[in-house]
Amino acid sequence: MVEFKAGAGLEGSGGTILAVPVFGDRTWGPGAEAATGAIGASVEARLDRADFSGKLGQVAVLSAQAGAPFEAYAFVGLGDEADTETVRQAAGWLARAVSRIDHVSTTLHMVDVEGAAKAFAEGFLLALYRFDKYRSEPQPAKTETLSFVGENGDDAKAAADAAVPAVIGTMLTRDLINEPANGKSPETLAGVAAAVAGEHSLRIRVYEPGEFAAERFGALAGVAAGAHNPARMVELWYEPEEPKAFLALVGKGIVFDSGGLSLKPAASMEEMKTDMSGAAVVFGAIQSIAALGLPIKVLGITPITENMPGGNATRPGDVLIPRNGTSIEVLNTDAEGRLVLADGLSLAAEQEPDLIVDIATLTGACHVALGDKIAGLWSNDQDAAERVLKASARTGERLWQMPLPADYRKAMDSDIADIKNISGGKYGGAIHAALFLAEYVGENPWVHLDIAGPARWTEEEHYQRKGGSGFGVRTLVALAEDMSA
Ligand code: BES
Ligand code: MN
Ligand code: ZN
């Protein structure tokens, strides 16, 4: 991991390159004027040739004249209306441009944007993430230090250091999502949770299949029935002294979603190792919250299993009884996320936390509705919804609130059980899924996040890498910060 430092003045601090902010139409930001001086009279022509105008996403690296304080200068575009997310993204683009350089300095923390240094640190570190473990020739980033030079370098370093726990949590989540399904059985993931627990003195309880009947995890057991690898229900507790609030996080942990007997077409299965992203986000968030030592009690619950069509698999038409007793007629075994969450949410609801947040790659319908980069939010409590929306506004992880219309519930009335697991209609699939989950949260304030789109980033851009994004970790950490204030 890159080490943050508070550097000396713009006259040089031993760095190889100085990165300076530039706004739209080449309006110089803090330190940029000095950078142009170090490059010399050719600077405008060279920026012209690099097509650099100062737009967000542009980075121009120019070598300096002999005797200049730095060997090179990186001009980093921020566009016309820079905000926190702009700085985060610009830092990501910068990191991509300088990842082969050992010592980097910057003045980007000096731009007049709230939380600039923290956002810079997040964007810079997250952009350098790689998932290389299966490559014969890994190519890790070479950047070792990042110095904040100019004014307020010490404050910037402190803010950047404070950003690190949630970045590490996000990277853990990315690693788990990127891991192929043959490298992450439910047992393996429960082992990761145990390792997190060991590192941060969390209490952990791992339920094995032999306990599912006694614990009444009938829905998780039903989804797991067609799989060879045994399922797990994991309960993680972070219990600091004198907590200010109690937050429960529930994450969908389908390590591979084949659809079960309602088998998916081959193309739809390609990315279904991603279907444990909710559980991975819960692990990453709890790890971060514990590392930050936030004064809030957090319970993480992750039902983990494969959804496979083995000989003992749940059949369309079967009835499952989850922990709270609200029976389910399973008409489509591919709507399995809501089944395992029925048990997970029932378990969370019994603890009567101040807020339950579940996070899941739940529906293709949500992906269709909001696209690749925005998650859906549903809630039975508008105050709770707004708390989560407010946290997400600070992190750049975009959420959009969707409705929970009570009259849509009857589409899931079953002929023989309390509810069926699909509506049977073509439309509003993400809403029906949310209404289904609402049956298992009791009277508790609850927020549901459907991350079917953004759990996986589809392109290389700014601080996102193609693959598992870790979307949700930083928002849940920000929520925990707000609730512990
Ligand atoms: N894991 C999928 C949802 C999903 C689809 C996530 C695409 C990410 C990308 C979920 O278990 C599923 O299969 N949902 C079905 C529900 C349907 C059978 C009611 C879907 O969305 O098609
Ligand atoms: Mn499915
Ligand atoms: Zn699924």
For residue 259, give the ligand 1 atom closest to its CA.
Answer: 13
Q: H-helix or E-strand containing 119?
A: helix 116-127
Ligand 3 centre distance from Cα of residue 405 (Å): 23
> Whose CA is closest to atom 17 on ligand 1?
335
* Sign of the C-alpha dihedral computed for residues 357, 361, 362 and 363 taken in this order: positive
- pLDDT recorded at residue 12: 62
Assess whether the C-beta atom of 374 lies below 6 angstroms from ligand 1. no
Instruction: Give helix 153-178 / helix 277-292 axis angle, nearest 10°.
Output: 150
- Protein residue with least CA distance to atom 22, ligand 1: 364
* Ligand lying nearest the CA atom of residue 258: 2
Nearest ligand to residue 253 Cα: 3
257 lines ligand 1 (CB under 6 A): yes
Q: What is the pLDDT of residue 7?
A: 83
Q: Residue 364 C-alpha to ligand 1 middle, in angstroms?
A: 5
**Third-level CATH fold of 167-484:** Aminopeptidase (3.40.630)
Tens-place pLDDT, residues 61-80: 999 999 999 999 999 999 99
Distance 357 CA to ligand 2 centre (A): 20
Q: Which of 334, 435, 449, 450 to mutate to test the pocket of ligand 1 (most atoms within 8 A of CB)?
A: 334
| Cβ neighbours for 95, distance < 8 A, ≥ 6 positions apart | 123, 124, 125, 127, 128, 141, 143, 463
- Cβ-contact 103, 14 below 8 angstroms: yes
With a 6 A CB cut-off, is 332 part of the ligand 1 pocket? yes
Please give the number of the atom of ligand 1 that sits closest to the Cα of 336. Answer: 11
Neighbours of 344 (CB within 10 A): 37
Given a cut of 50, the residues of the chain with pLDDT beneath it are none
Cα 255 to middle of ligand 3, angstroms: 9
Distances (CA, A) of 276 to 280, 454, 468: 6, 13, 11
- For 367-392, write each residue's pLDDT tens digit: 999 999 999 999 999 999 999 999 99
27-49 burial by CB neighbour count: b if 16+ within 10 A, else e?
ebbbbbebbbebbeeebeeebee
Residue among 211, 222, 411, 449 nearest 322 (CA): 222
Atom of ligand 1 nearest to the CA of 362: 3
Nearest C-alpha to atom 13 of ligand 1 is from which residue? 334
Token pair in block for residue 33: 């004027």
Q: What is the largest CA-CA distance in the chain?
A: 82
- Smallest Cα–Cα separation from 348: which of 476, 222, 252, 450? 252
Cβ(364) – ligand 1 distance below 6 Å: yes
Amino acid identity, position 219: A
How far does residue 267's CA lie from ligand 1's centre (Å)? 13
User: Quick check: CB of 310 below 6 Å from ligand 1?
Assistant: no
Specify the amino acid at residue 7: G
Residue with tokens 């731009």: 111
CA–CA separation, 394 and 291 (whole Å): 20
Domain spans, the chain: 3-150, 167-484
- Ligand number nearest CA of 260 is 2
Residue 19 and residue 98 in contact, taking contact as beta carbons nearer than 8 Å: yes
> CATH classification of 3-150, choosing from 3.40.1190.20, 3.50.50.60, 3.30.830.10, 3.40.220.10?
3.40.220.10
Q: Which of 333, 172, 210 has its CA nearest to residue 260?
A: 333
Q: What is the pLDDT of residue 8?
A: 74
- Residue 198's nearest CA partner among 287, 288, 301 is 287
The ligand 1 atom nearest the CA atom of 366:
21
The answer to whether the CB of 429 is under 6 A from ligand 1 is yes
Q: Does any ligand 1 atom lie closer than 6 A to the CB of residue 53?
A: no
Phi first, then psi: what are they for 243, rounded to 5°? Answer: -70, 145
Place of tokens 């008409």: 331
Does ligand 1 lie within 6 Å of residue 450's CB atom? no
Instruction: Tell me whether residue 424 is exposed, middle or buried, using C-beta atoms within 10 angstroms of its C-beta: 0 to 12, 13 to 18, 19 or more.
Output: exposed
Instruction: Decide whether any atom of ligand 1 lies within 6 Å of the 367 Cβ.
Output: yes
For residue 336, report the distance from its CA to the centre of ligand 1, in Å.
8
Q: Which of 362, 363, 420, 436 to mutate to test the pocket of ligand 1 (most atoms within 8 A of CB)?
A: 363
